[in-house]
Amino acid sequence: MRTFVTLYRGLTALLVFAVFFGTIAAEWGPGFSLANYVSFFTVQSNVIAGLVFAASAWAIGKGHRSGRLDAWRGAVVVYLVTTVTVYQALLVDIAEVAAYSPPFLDFAFHRLVPAIVVLDWILFPPAHAVRFPQWLWWLVFPAAYLAYTLARGPLAGDWYPYPFLDPTGGAGWPGALAGATGVALFIIVLSALVAWSTRWLGHLWWASHPPSGTLDVR
């Protein structure tokens, strides 16, 4: 089991970075902005997932199971479930978003990697429950992303990655703040639910033991 977990987490990390750099290589040219590309929440959250899975694969391969990395896996679940939900609910038919989402990125970052992350969380939950206020740290990245997006927009010619965060649109700042507030509330509730799930997931029969050969370390 240890080898299996190490392998699929490592391969997932490789997939993320292959798609990330492959999109840059495939789309590079007139009309493509690297700064805009890396400013999408989808891209940033998937890169975080790749880094966390790479670090976890390395730790499991060395025979260690880190409580901190387990907690970071929870953060990744929150970020990617948010990515999928917002994309499917609000963005799937938006042309400007689609321009930065070629088919292979769309499938990998909006479907495949989020599904792997969620299944990984269910099948191999943390050895220790994530409790309040630990999961509040998961909110730092979304808050920083929101601040970055709103601050960068005017500096990038009033370019915003998502219409619901664009204060130059028809709804103006009230619309952008309403959109940001709605997504923020979703992330807070989802974070609490993912943290709460650690109290019972570990008691399920398939999750009652960590990957064999690992030493639990905080």
Task: Write out the residue range of the structural domain in which residue 124 sits.
Answer: 2-211
**Cα torsion angle, 165, 169, 170, 173, sign:** positive
Q: Is residue 197 part of a domain?
A: yes
- For residue 185, is it left (φ>0), alpha (ψ between -120 and 50) or beta? alpha
Give domain status of residue 218, yes or no.
no
Q: Is the pTM of this model over 0.85?
A: yes
pLDDT interval class at 2 (50, 70, 90): confident
Angstrom distances, CA of residue 193 to CA of 24, 131, 188, 200: 35, 11, 9, 11
Q: Which residues of 153-168 are buried (b: 16+ CB within 10 A; e: fewer)?
A: beeeeebbbbbbbbbe
The answer to whether residue 94 is domain-embedded is yes
Whether residue 157 is contained in a domain is answered as yes
Q: How many domains does the chain have?
A: 1
Residue 216 belongs to a domain? no
66 pairs with which residues across the strands? 217
State the Cα–Cα distance between residues 24 and 119, nearest whole angstrom.
28
84 occurs within a structural domain: yes
- Count, residues in the chain: 218
Q: CA 96, CA 108: separation in Å to the nearest integer?
A: 19
User: pLDDT (tens digit, 9 = 90+) per residue, 145-199?
Assistant: 999 999 999 999 999 999 999 999 888 999 999 999 999 999 999 999 999 999 8
* pLDDT for res 101: 73
Residue 206 confidence class, pLDDT cut points 50, 70, 90: low
pLDDT tens-place string over residues 19-67: 999 999 988 999 889 999 999 999 999 999 999 999 999 998 888 777 8
178 is a domain residue: yes
The pLDDT of residue 52 is 97
